Amino acid sequence: MSGWDKFVETFFNAKVMWKYLPDILSGMVVTIELALLIVVTGLGAGLALALLRSLAIRPLNWLIIFVVDLFRSLPPLVIIVLMYFGLPYAGPAPSGFVSTWLSLAFVLMAFSEEIFWAGITSIPKGQWEASRSTGLSFGQTLFNVVLPQAFRLTIPPLTNRTIAITKGTALGTVVAVTEILGQASSAMSNSYNPSPLMMGAAAYIVLFLPVVVAARWIETKFAWKR
Partner 1 sequence: MATNHIVDARAIHKHFGTLHVLKGVDLKVDERELVFIIGPSGSGKSTLLRCLNRLEEPSSGSIVVDGIDMLDAKTDINHARRRIGMVFQSFNLYPHMTALGNVTLALRKVAGKGRAEAEALGRVALERVGLADRAEHTPGQLSGGQQQRVAIARSIALEPRVMLFDEPTSALDPELVGSVLEVMRGLRESGMTMIVVSHEMGFARNAADRVVFMDDGLIVEQGPPAAIFENPTHERTRAFIGQIQRH
> Residues interacting with partner 1, by CB under 8 A?
124, 126-127, 129-137, 140, 144-145, 148-149, 152, 224-226
CB of 211 to partner 1, least distance (A): 25
The smaller minimum CB distance to partner 1, of residues 85 and 143, is found at 143
The smaller minimum CB distance to partner 1, of residues 89 and 224, is found at 224
Dist. CA 175–CA 177, nearest whole Å:
6
The smaller minimum CB distance to partner 1, of residues 140 and 190, is found at 140
The smaller minimum CB distance to partner 1, of residues 144 and 190, is found at 144
Dist. CA 154–CA 222, nearest whole Å:
11
Write a three-state SS string for 104-159: HHHHHHHHHHHHHHHHHHCCCHHHHHHHHHCCCCHHHHHHHHHHHHHHHHHHHHHH
Where are the alpha helices (H) located in the chain, listed in sequence order? 3-11, 14-54, 58-73, 76-81, 96-121, 125-133, 138-141, 147-167, 180-191, 195-222
Q: How far is CA 16 from the centre of its chain?
A: 31
CB of 56 to partner 1, least distance (A): 14
Check: CB of residue 96 under 8 Å from CB of residue 172. Answer: yes
CB of 68 to partner 1, least distance (A): 27
Residues whose CB is less than 8 angstroms from the CB of residue 154 and which lie 6 or more positions away in sequence, other chains included: 115, 116, 118, 119
Burial class (CB in 10 A: 0-12, 13-18, 19+), 224: exposed
The smaller minimum CB distance to partner 1, of residues 189 and 220, is found at 220
CB of 29 to partner 1, least distance (A): 38
CB of 89 to partner 1, least distance (A): 50
The smaller minimum CB distance to partner 1, of residues 119 and 172, is found at 119
CB of 131 to partner 1, least distance (A): 8
The smaller minimum CB distance to partner 1, of residues 95 and 140, is found at 140
CB of 53 to partner 1, least distance (A): 22
